[in-house]
Structure 1
Amino acid sequence: MTTVLLLSTADTDLLAARAAAAAHPDGAAYRLGNPSRVDPRDDLPGLLAGADLAVVRLLGGRRAWEEGLAVIAASGVPSVLLGGESVPDAELMALSTVPAGVVAEALRYLVEGGPANLAELARFLSDTVLMSGEGFEAPRAMPQFGVHGTYAHDPGRPTVAVLFYRAHELSGNTAFVDTLCATVEARAANALPIYCGSLRGAAEMQRRVGVASEERGSGTRP
């Protein structure tokens, strides 16, 4: 079984990988950590021991964790180094020890997110880097925004939109959203929780929020 060390400053990546491992116990084993909480000298060598591959995703780029990257490079474990944004980080890509095309594709799996894509990421790396021959599926496109849950709509109440990042929705980290929505409902308002990848497409998102609100008002599930 392939062991993939995934170190990411985005806890939602780690949650999705944990869910992937739970759903596919016969697949690759993920070993997880957040670089902001992993000491390069005390913790990292133990995490690297026995790992077949290392995937590191850093918000802030190379300078965010230079000592940790040096330890990984010295270990000889094949490494996929990624930035925290949705586009490749050229500096980290150059420091990776696998082909640039593999790095770019690995980023696609993480950007799309969710347990299914994390399961396929492990298979992809095992197949393309370790030549395991087990096969893999391409990254699955996930919705950029949508409505979370099925909260009731009372036309006599005002509606409050609760916006949160799609990474939380895809990883299943939504307990805090449900708590916020329960608080909204306790204040005599309708809760409309909306997940989104970015506010850059705000016009389209607002249009869809309006449609979802109207559908809920008519009793139709969006």
Structure 2
Amino acid sequence: MRVVHGQPPSATGTHHGLAWARFNPPRPPDGAVLVLHGADSVKENQFDFARAASFAGLVAVCFDARGHGDTGGVLGDGVFDDVAAMADLARGALGPDGGPLALRGSSMGGYLALVCAGRAGIDADAVVAICPPSAEGLRRGLADPARFAFAADRTALDALVARHEVTDAVRALRVPLMLMHAAGDLQVPVEHSRELAALAPDASYVELPGGHHQSVQHDGELLGVSVRFLARALRRAGAA
């Protein structure tokens, strides 16, 4: 499902076979944020966040993962390489010397943001993860043929996810982290984000009473909370 409202992207294109859209700020940017959508979603569903991030002085890049939206192919064990390629694209929009980069992901995108943030070639300076599933939870979804509609090499993707648990990634993170979750989420239990927050005492944790799996990422107030968090973190990273 595509939801498109408001100002269109500043630029669109393809990179590494992935369809992307970029929102540029009205002034020299303080950094860039790569936006990772969830399973069966598309980049357009993240445009509300990307616009808000651009107004806060950040370059925001959204893209369709393989098997989703305008990107062809199937999602498989190359997904980490795809995130790295798009991270390069986002940093490149800051100029020849690059600059600080954040990852912001929801649901499956939250999982990817956490496990990819510290990988060589990405090295994110800040992370926001919204309703991120555990590796076990994501694998259960992949094992259910009725759960997801996107094209995937489920065997290869399952093997990749099995080797990368978010708890390990969170323990290893040394950059500003914000975890966000709706207490009423029936797809990814809120307890998982509570457990992740306990593993990272310096992390910011935001929990929305009630709600559902999509509540946090499209709530205007919480969207602003995450944008301000990332803008502060990237300004500090750029000044270091």
TM-score range, shorter chain: 0.3 to 0.5
Going by fraction, where is helix more abundant, 1 or 2?
A: 1
The structure with the larger Rg is 1
Greater relative CO (CA pairs within 8 A, separation 6+): 2
Q: TM-score, normalized by length of structure 1?
A: 0.37
